[in-house]
Amino acid sequence: MTDDIDPDETDTHGGDWRTPADRARDIAQAKALQEQARKGGLRFEVFLPPGLAEWVLDFVERGVFVDPSEAVFVILGEHRDLEPHDDLRTEILKRSLDASINDPRPPIPLDEFEKKMAERMAQPRPEAALWRKNTYA
């Protein structure tokens, strides 16, 4: 399924910081796991930044999802369902961009933003919370 992927051409989201060697290694790992994943699924670790983590945990607190892994499972399924519908994905992107453009908060000058980001990156990152999956009888 992924035999025709060139690791140098896989940055579809404009933020791939990996080296070509790193991308090649990750693609090779995906290829190696395909058959077993097809049979038994795939487990992996996910880091969510604070805002997204709070959003997911709020769903769990309200009983929408049993735990964060169920939320990721459902949300990835919804994303997969939208994949063939370019018109809907384009509309969602357009609405997100429109919301950002129409944000009533005053804009932040680039130099101020860069300074704040540099300060934030220089600070030690707090330890992430860890969800422990319950085993149910």
Whether the pLDDT of residue 135 is over 80: the answer is no
- Planar angle of CA 59, 42, 18, nearest 5 degrees: 90
Q: Is the full-model pTM beyond 0.85?
A: no
Each residue's pLDDT tens digit, 62-80: 999 999 999 999 999 999 9
Q: To the nearest whole number, what is the mean pLDDT of the chain?
A: 87
Quick: pLDDT tens for 70-108: 999 999 999 999 999 999 989 999 999 999 999 999 888
Whether the CA torsion 104, 113, 93, 55 is positive or negative: it is negative
Instruction: Encode pLDDT of 14-70 as tens digits.
Output: 568 889 999 999 999 999 999 999 999 998 888 999 999 999 999 999 999 999 999
